[in-house]
């Protein structure tokens, strides 16, 4: 993930092809060791050929704009961008992960609408929810959410 000095967490994906020279040597070293690789990207379908040119196995779509649009008129546009980016990645030979600000409320819609997603990163929300629900119940709810099922979310969401 590209992180600028002072960032607490990532707020953007790699800018490819502009950052190709930075990303490719890292991908090559990891793949030489048999490590599956993924590149964190913004939901920009047109960028997927440049991402595939790095030799990466997967993308992880930065989903904060989707999460931030939850309950607003922008939601349809944001989920459409994620869906088109995922489809473009698959067409370019990559698998699709998604992550950032996903939770029990917004994950089911994403899972139903973007079936190309094979993995989701939900660590922060999962642990926060576990404080209220317990870990076993929380994990079970997230598994159902990732299958596209509506689930009850804690009042904190």
What's the pTM? 0.87
Per-residue model confidence as pLDDT tens digits over 53-111: 999 999 999 999 999 999 999 999 999 999 999 999 999 999 999 999 999 999 999 99
- Identify the helix (H) or strand (E) that includes residue 88: helix 75-91
Q: Specify the fold of 20-146.
A: TIM Barrel (3.20.20)
Task: Compute the distance between CA of residue 35 and CA of residue 75 in angstroms, rounded to an integer.
Answer: 35
Per-residue model confidence as pLDDT tens digits over 19-44: 888 889 999 999 999 999 999 999 99
Is 81 within 8 Å of 43 (Cβ atoms)?
yes
What are the residue ranges spanned by the domains of the chain? 20-146
- pLDDT value, residue 8: 52
């Amino acid at each position: 993930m590209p992180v600028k000095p002072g960032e607490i967490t990532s707020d953007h994906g790699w800018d490819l092809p502009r950052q190709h020279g930075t990303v490719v040597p890292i991908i090559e070293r990891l793949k030489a060791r048999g490590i599956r690789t993924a590149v964190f990207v913004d939901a920009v379908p047109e960028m997927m050929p440049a991402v595939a040119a790095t030799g990466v196995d997967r993308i992880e779509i930065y989903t904060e704009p989707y999460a931030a649009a939850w309950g607003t008129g922008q939601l349809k546009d944001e989920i459409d961008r994620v869906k088109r980016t995922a489809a473009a990645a698959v067409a370019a030979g990559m698998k699709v992960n998604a992550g950032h600000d996903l939770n029990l409320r917004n994950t089911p819609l994403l899972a139903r609408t973007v079936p190309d997603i094979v993995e989701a990163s939900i660590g922060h929300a999962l642990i926060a929810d576990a404080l209220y629900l317990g870990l076993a119940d929380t994990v079970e709810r997230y598994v159902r959410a990732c299958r596209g099922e509506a689930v009850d979310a804690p009042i904190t969401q």
